[in-house]
């Protein structure tokens, strides 16, 4: 297995532990991303392609259990919990909510790497493109290959159109302001015209065809994606 194609999101509020995990996993050949609280973890997850999440339970802002719930509601990305809690209840709760493994602190870095490898082997890298599809209503996207389908028909999107759709699909029913979309997608202080977002939303809706109604305008705020009810 070629580990260096995998990206791991490390979510741990203890900076020393977070950095130690990063250094060790980089040496093992993984790509790494770091978050120090639950909100930051979810923000990163909305924009980055992640193959596995190392998730501490005790986190500021949004705790690990809530992060687990929110990620599981939209993705089957492997999640390995990190915690000082060793009680059976905590482990069972994590597994019931969809965690793939559970590591109790203190742990050795070698053990963490071994657990990660075991989980990724179970997921089987060869099936990555299949498991990575995100489905919302009749819209199906693959963030790794950047393919987008409406029903069975593939549609062609520009990079910015795809990024817009990915954020909305990956956070359906969540409203994003135009300002937030500019910040996340354009990340350019020189781009401050909300019409840039409106223009791309209009183009995206046209390409989605009969599913264009999924992208809803929240007047005075921005946009969100909501699954259309079948007639």
Confidence of residue 228 (pLDDT cuts 50, 70, 90): low
Q: Are residues 137 and 216 in the same domain?
A: yes
Whether residue 5 is predicted with pLDDT greater than 80 in this model: the reply is no
Q: Global pTM?
A: 0.63
pLDDT tens for each residue of 66-111: 999 988 877 778 999 998 876 666 678 788 888 999 999 999 999 9
Q: Is 230 a member of any domain?
A: no
Q: Are residues 63 and 124 in the same domain?
A: yes
Residue 168 structure tokens: 């909305």
Q: Are residues 126 and 161 in the same domain?
A: no
Q: Are residues 70 and 95 in the same domain?
A: yes
Q: Are residues 177 and 203 in the same domain?
A: yes
The structural domain count of the chain equals 2
Query: Domain boundary at 101, 130, 159, which?
Result: 130
Q: Are residues 34 and 65 in the same domain?
A: yes
Whether residue 1 is predicted with pLDDT greater than 80 in this model: the reply is no
pLDDT tens for each residue of 157-193: 998 999 899 888 877 788 898 888 888 888 765 556 7
Q: Are residues 142 and 113 in the same domain?
A: no
Query: Domain boundary at 72, 97, 130, which?
Result: 130
pLDDT tens for each residue of 139-157: 888 877 788 999 889 999 9
Q: pLDDT at position 95, please?
A: 84
Residue 132 structure tokens: 């990575």
Q: Are residues 108 and 17 in the same domain?
A: yes
Q: Is 72 a member of any domain?
A: yes
Q: pLDDT at position 2, please?
A: 45
Check residue 210 and report its DSSP letter: G
Domain range spanning residue 85?
3-130
Place of tokens 């060793």: 86
Place of tokens 């390409």: 207
Domain CATH number, residue 22 = 3.40.50.2300
Query: Domain boundary at 90, 113, 130, which?
Result: 130
pLDDT tens for each residue of 51-76: 899 999 999 999 999 999 988 877 77
Neighbouring residues of 81: CB distance < 8 A, sequence distance ≥ 6: 55, 56, 57, 64, 68, 94, 99, 101, 102, 103
Q: Are residues 115 and 92 in the same domain?
A: yes
Q: pLDDT at position 169, please?
A: 86
Domain CATH number, residue 161 = 1.10.10.10
How many CB atoms sit inside 10 A of residue 108's CB?
A: 10
């Amino acid at each position: 297995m070629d580990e260096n194609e995998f990206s791991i999101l490390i979510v741990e509020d203890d900076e020393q532990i977070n950095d130690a995990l990063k250094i060790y996993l980089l040496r093992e050949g993984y790509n790494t991303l770091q978050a120090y609280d639950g909100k930051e973890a979810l923000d990163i997850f909305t924009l980055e392609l992640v193959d596995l999440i190392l998730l501490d339970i005790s986190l500021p802002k949004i705790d690990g259990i809530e992060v687990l719930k929110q990620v599981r509601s939209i993705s089957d990305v492997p999640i390995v919990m990190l915690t000082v809690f060793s009680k059976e209840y905590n482990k069972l709760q994590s597994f019931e909510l969809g965690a793939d493994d559970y590591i109790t602190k203190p742990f050795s870095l070698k053990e963490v790497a071994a657990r990660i490898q075991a989980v990724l082997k179970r997921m089987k890298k060869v099936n990555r493109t299949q498991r990575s599809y995100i489905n919302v209503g009749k819209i199906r996207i693959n963030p790794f290959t950047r393919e987008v389908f409406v029903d069975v028909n593939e549609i062609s999107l520009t990079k910015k159109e795809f990024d817009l759709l990915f954020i909305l699909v990956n956070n359906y029913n969540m409203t994003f302001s135009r300002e937030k979309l500019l910040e996340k997608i354009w990340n350019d202080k020189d781009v401050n015209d909300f019409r840039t977002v409106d223009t791309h939303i209009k183009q995206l809706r046209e390409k989605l065809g009969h599913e264009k109604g999924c992208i809803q305008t929240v007047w005075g705020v921005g946009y969100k994606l909501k699954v259309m009810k079948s007639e």
